[in-house]
A and B are shown apart, each in its own frame.
Chain A
Amino acid sequence: MTTMVMEREAPTLTATPWELVYQRPAALTDLPTHYCPGCSHGAIHRMVAEVIDELGIRERTIGVAPVGCAVFAYKYFNLDSCEAAHGRAPAMATGLKRVRPDRIVFTYQGDGDLASIGGNEILHAALRGEQITVIFVNNAVYGMTGGQMAPTTIAGMKTTSSPMGRDVLTQGYPIHIPELLAPMPGVAYAVRRSMHAVAEMRKVKKAIRMAFQAQLQGVGFSIVEILGACPTNWHVSPTDALDYIRDRMLPEYPVGDFKVDARLRD
């Protein structure tokens, strides 16, 4: 690759300042996150915040944080937010949205939180077609407690609570959340995306935007599942973690649109 060096004059103090084109979104605080190197949460937080800024809804958005690695999401989003009990974020978001239908309400949940202990809450929020947006990060393990098996753990994957590898005959099969929710009439948008490559990350952000758009249009429940990396608990390097998503997780969790309401427009 060749590098082009632009010849240009140094700006003088009186010249128009350079336009800052990459900066912290207003919907993020300037607090450094506690996430591990190579974790996808930080980048996903940023994309959610960018979307909130771009849609111009920061002043009327309320976030609901989960229990799990993203438990402090409320510190990182520069929004009104609250912290739910483990798995209960969709119920809490339901309460918020029902009494403030003019506000934009989203939950940010991991796979243990949403797909295991919060299975009933997410299922029924989707069934009711709650006008909320769910950002669902799937890294196939319980991260915060140290890498135990989650309902999303893929077959054969070694975790601290499936040390011989997940045996699906005794420990059950991986759960596919957007595929499960997509057939429900109340669901307007149910897709899966992945963080394993830059081109894929662009699609993640587009999907997050569509999910918020669904709520703004009032067409129903929206959820984006995002395959994220957990190098710490997968015991691989950050770059190998991206390959792990591509080679191991994608075959089990294909990216795709499982439901896109015809009324949705970008």
Chain B
Amino acid sequence: MARELWKGNEALAEAAIRAGVDAFFGYPITPQTELLEYMARRMPELGRTFLQAESEIGAINMVYGAACAGARAMTSSSSPGISLMQEGLSYIAGSEVPCVLVDIMRGGPGLGNIQPGQADYFQLTRSAGHGDFHPLVLAPATVQEAVDLMTISFDLAFQYRTIVIIAGDGALGQMMEPVTLPPMRPPRQERPAWALTGVDGRQPNIITSLYLDADELEQVNLRLQAKLARIAAAEQRWECYLTDDADFLVVAFGTVARIARTAVRTARAAGIRAGLFRPISLWPFPAPALDQLAARVKGVVVAEMNAGQMVEDVRLIVRGRAPVRFLGRTGGVIPLPDEIASELTHMARIDAHANGDRG
């Protein structure tokens, strides 16, 4: 299949179209706007639904409505817009309808800026809305991976009746890379049995997140948690790079993981056996895989474009078996390979010192 040069945001849009998205609702926000613009052109061409909403609140509730009708519905936004969507995400999670969301993260808090960021790790994995739930969060590091994850996202969303979030950052959304796009999937005619289609010949379908009775709501929550446990067990994704013999590990996701690969090579050139562990699913976090590595490495460097968020998950998994250092850049500053490499060097030097090697 042909490899073509695609911009991240537009590649995500085309991949969603080829994955069979029926309806897109969105609101402009940098640095994801090209995704919306692409959909505005392409969806009507294909006879599918595109609508620019009055706000991110409007957009997510339109997604909620379309998802209730059994459609493959999605939206995309960036950090401040995701904050506005959290209410809707909570309702969508509570009523168990499937949808896909793209977050091209930028610098925060507040209006922040439009540079790349990863400071919404907590928001996406821990607090995508009120109440007990986690979306399935997938963090691509390349435009090709963004396309590949988008291609499976609707199937995951419908399989589990859950929210799937593709979490990129401004760099991924804006960069152009060669990609191979999947074939166009034929549009789907059938609707799931739970969808709102009109009561023709059956009892009414009701989609709600309201359960006033405490025992009943607890049962709903237990069912939701059981589903999340199934997702946690089955949907962990990660990549290991040069970890087989690694003494020192970098843990990084998304754009930072690409920079970390260079840092790992730099460290290896200097004689430090370094490797990269890259979580692809941020929730569920690939804990068992990291746990195995943590049992035998001498040190871990966590690099993120935030003030330290994923590092909390890493520390919980490493459990003090190795020192964990954190390198964070914020505000849209992208860490350089040398910064990460020097963390590895520093860690190796301390380790050597502790083991009596003063050379």
Contact = CB atoms under 8 A, between A and B. Distances in A.
Interface of A: 58-62, 64-65, 71-72, 74-75, 77-85, 88, 91-100, 103, 120-121, 123-124, 128
A82 B208 contact: yes
Given A61-B198, A62-B198, A82-B196, A92 B204 contact: no
A74 B95 CA distance: 14
Interface string B17-28: 000001101000
Interface of B: 22-23, 25, 49, 51, 53-55, 57-59, 61-69, 71, 73, 87-88, 91, 95, 196-201, 204-210
Contacts of A121: 54, 57-58, 61
A74 B62 CA distance: 19
Contacts of B95: 82-83
A113 to B, nearest CB: 13
A204 to B, nearest CB: 25
Contact of B66 (A65, A79, A96): A96
Contact of A98 (B51, B58, B91): B51
Nearest to B53: A91
Given A78-B199, A95-B63, A98-B51, 19 more contacts: A58-B199, A62-B197, A74-B208, A79-B204, A81-B204, A82-B65, A82-B95, A82-B208, A88-B61, A91-B61, A93-B65, A95-B64, A95-B69, A96-B65, A96-B68, A98-B23, A98-B66, A103-B69, A124-B53
A85 B58 CA distance: 11
**Interface SS of A by simple majority:** helix
Nearest to A85: B91
Contact of A94 (B22, B51, B88, B204): B51
Nearest to A123: B54
A124 B54 CA distance: 6
**Interface SS of B by simple majority:** mixed
A78 B204 contact: yes
Contacts of A62: 69, 196-198
Nearest to A91: B61
Given A83-B209, A92-B68, A96-B66, A120 B57 contact: yes
B199 A85 contact: no
B25 A95 contact: yes
24 contacts: A78-B199, A79-B198, A80-B197, A81-B206, A82-B208, A85-B88, A88-B57, A88-B61, A91-B53, A91-B64, A92-B61, A95-B23, A95-B64, A95-B66, A95-B67, A95-B73, A96-B66, A98-B51, A99-B66, A99-B71, A120-B54, A120-B55, A121-B58, A124-B53
A88 B51 contact: no
Contacts of A59: 198-201
